[in-house]
Structures are given as C-alpha cells and as structure tokens.
A and B are shown apart, each in its own frame.
Chain A
Amino acid sequence: MAPIYNEEIVIDKLHNPDTMREAFGQVVEHYGERIYWQIRKMVVSHEDADDLLQNTFLKAWNNIDLFRGEAKLSTWLYRIAVNETITFLNKERQRNNISIDSDDCFLLNNIESDPWFDGDELQLRLQKAIATLPEKQRLVFNMRYFDEMKYEEISEVLGTSVGALKASYHHAAKKVEEYLLSHN
C-alpha cells in the first residue's frame, strides 16, 4: 500500500539528499496522472504526452533546489508541464509548416485511427472544436472543463488574472458550443 501523501513531509524529504529520490517517487505517484492528462489533452497523442510527462518530471528533478515552497508543488509541476507542452507544440507547428495564427487541427489528423482514442462521434467533434481554439484558450478550457480546476489555481499556473480567465473560458466554451452545433 502506498504511503499517505503529506505534501509538507514530502517537500522536506525532497530537500534532503538521502530521501529526495524516494520523495520524488511519491510526487510522481501523486501528481503523475493529473499532469499526464493535462499534457495529453493539449498534444492529443499518447506517445507525445508520455515523452512530455517524462521531460516534465526530469526538469522538476533537475531543478528541485529551485522549488522553495512559495507555490504549491502541483502548481509548480503544472507550470513546467505547460512550458514543455507549449515548446513542443511550437516545434510541431514549425515541423508541419503551420503558421502561428492557424488552429492546431493538424494534431487530430490521425485521431480516428489512434488506438488510444475510443471516444464517440460527439467526443471526436469536441476534440476538433477544442483544436480550433487559440492555445491559451485551449489550456484554460481543458483545465476548467475536463480537470475542473478552480480559477484561482489556473491563475497561479498561467499567471493570468481570475477575471481574464473567466472571460477566456466563457469565449472558449461559446466557440466550442457553436462548433458542436454547426457541425452536427
């Protein structure tokens, strides 16, 4: 049975060379799945999400001395994951000759044959709708709609005010709904 996760104890252990590896394992155990889904919803492919998840935790491991506990550990990890994801998407856009103003529908090119997507027709349409959103709106929409994160928490991760996030989510949800209705 996995030990009960206590963030304060884990953070203390992370700063002790003798216990940091064990504590980091607990961090991965505790936050790995959440971070994975956050990345996956942005990059669509499981393989890419898996790579980015490993990079995220590797960066966190290498920079653990910089984590001083001012923010929550989850917020810090989410920030690293968001940065990794954005860097990856920029590279993918460049590789596919996609302009920065275009949508990210190219990510869904192979979704119907993806063995790790078993969504119905409506879920597929939802993914296509989400791919039409600008990157930041997509992040906000995913965090709010799928992960049900609080605006305050999203604000800490993305460094945007709660008011702006609410407006961003409202616009994103409206666009998604319009897409879903018009592509019925």
Chain B
Amino acid sequence: MKENRKILDEIGGKSGFTVPEDYFKNLSTRITEQLPEREAPKIEIVTPWQRLRPYIYMAAMFAGIWLMVQVFVAPAVEAEQELTAAAEQEEELDEYMLYSMDEYTVFETFYADNE
C-alpha cells in the first residue's frame, strides 16, 4: 500500500491539464460582460393596516365570542343561580321553623295541614 501511495505522492496532485494563455486573467471580465441585465428586486410595501390586520381580526373574533357569551350563556347561568338561591332560602326557612317550634306546635301544624 505504501508503494501505491508513493505513486499518488509522485504525481503530487498535478492533473496535467492546462488552459490558454491569460485565460484566468480575462475570465471575470468575459463572464460579467455576458451577464444579462437584472431587474431590481420588487420590494413589497406593507402598509400599517396590512401589518395590523391579522391582529385586529383576531381581536374582533375574541370580542364576538365574548359578546355571544354575554348574550346567550350569562343570562341562563344567572337565572339558574337565582333559582338555586331561592330554593336554598326556602329550605333554610323550613329548617328555622322546625327548630324554633316546640313539639306540640309541630304536631298541631301537621294535624292542621292534614285536616
């Protein structure tokens, strides 16, 4: 293998290819002369409205959802809370009546109701 490497080392990375005289000297000029004209890149002007539009749309969407909750969901919840509160109040009143009356009055009340 060492003998083999010796061959590649002997060649020393030289390909044997050549180029016409002054080929590289004129290369840049020759190539750039042949380049076509380029149009200036189009710069898109973004207006403040275009920049803010997605955020405004998102805010409007959230406002809409909030409004719908206020109109449809909130009154129903409120009514339910009121009913619960009223029921709780009635139960509390019954309990108060039971505790504040003596046994005789309680039986009397039951009998009166049954009659």
Q: Among B10, B16, B40, which residue has the most Cβ atoms of chain A within 10 A?
A: B16
Spot the interface stretch: A17-25, A93-101, A131-139, A156-164: A17-25
> At the interface, yes or no: B71 with Cβ under 8 Å from chain A?
no
B48 within 8 A of A: no
Interface size class of A (residues with CB under 8 A): 35 or more
Quote the shortest CB–CB distance from B3 to chain A (angstroms): 8
Closest to A35 in B: B27
When C-beta atoms are compared, the residue in chain A nearest to B40 turns out to be: A17
In the complex, identify which listed stretch (B18-26, B50-58, B82-90) lies at the interface while the others stay far away: B18-26
Q: How many residues of B contact A (CB 8 A)?
A: 28
Among B31-39, B62-70, B93-101, B103-111, the stretch in contact with A = B31-39
A-B complex: 6 closest residue pairs judged by Cβ atoms = A119-B16, A177-B4, A123-B16, A29-B28, A17-B40, A28-B28
Chain A: residues with CB nearer than 8 A to chain B? 17, 20-21, 24-26, 28-29, 32-33, 36-37, 40-41, 44, 46, 53-54, 57-58, 61-62, 65, 116-120, 122-124, 126-127, 145-146, 148, 173-174, 176-178, 180-181
